[in-house]
Structure 1
């Protein structure tokens, strides 16, 4: 991101990704409960945090 701002194009991409995740959770053969949806979202958040941590560690090693 440039200067901490999310451009309209970037926001559009983020919304498309969010829409795909939600569509996957609410349609199809599995019919997830709200609790299961929260578990999925927690898993996604945990992986994002792990990736952020690994990226910051590798950035520190490069400097």
Structure 2
């Protein structure tokens, strides 16, 4: 499990450059993090993670 602050840090504050997809429930961000932590890694290195932010006006 990750805290919100860890997700925000690992996705570099949910920056638009790593936006993976957008749907009715919200946005999905794709990023790579260190295997034993939450530190962001370079593209293609470490573990791939997806973080979803929910759309507050969606059903």
TM-score of the pair, normalised by structure 1: 0.24
Which of 1 and 2 has higher RCO (CA within 8 Å, sep 6+)? Answer: 2
Higher normalized helix content (fraction of residues): 1
Higher normalized strand content (fraction of residues): 2
- Which structure would you say has the larger Rg? 1
